Amino acid sequence: MTKLKLGPITDDKPVKVSLELPATVHSDLVAYAQLLAHETGGSVGDPVKLISPMIERFMATDRGFAKARRNGDRECPSAS
């Protein structure tokens, strides 16, 4: 079984964002959604819903970002 970085997607209060993706990235996003649905035994529905958890996971595992936040860098404001 493939070990994906994302788990089941939870609903949260959304903030509307408009985003354009290259066709290849969208295609990969659809493929990832299908694999995730198969692995979790659920349904992802709209693959666009994966973008937020992917970004969240990326930021949570970015050591440079975490270090900057811990150090209170001015260029890295804390989350509100």
> Is 13 in a helix, a strand, or coil?
coil
The pLDDT value given to residue 33: 92
4-43 pLDDT, tens digit per residue, is 677 777 777 877 889 899 999 999 999 999 998 888 888 8
Within a domain: 44: yes
Give, rounded to a whole angstrom, the gap between the first and last alpha carbons of the chain: 38
Is the pLDDT assigned to residue 65 strictly greater than 90?
no
Within a domain: 11: no
Over residues 54-58, the mean pLDDT reads: 89
Nearest to 51 by CA among 9, 23, 79, 13: 9
Measure the CA–CA gap between 13 and 38, rounded to whole angstroms: 26
Block residue for tokens 């819903």: 49
The pLDDT value given to residue 78: 57
Within a domain: 1: no
CA within 13 Å, CB half, 56: 11
Per the model's pLDDT, the better-predicted residue between 4 and 58 turns out to be: 58
Within a domain: 42: yes
Q: How many domains does the chain have?
A: 1
Q: Which residues form the domain of 27?
A: 23-70
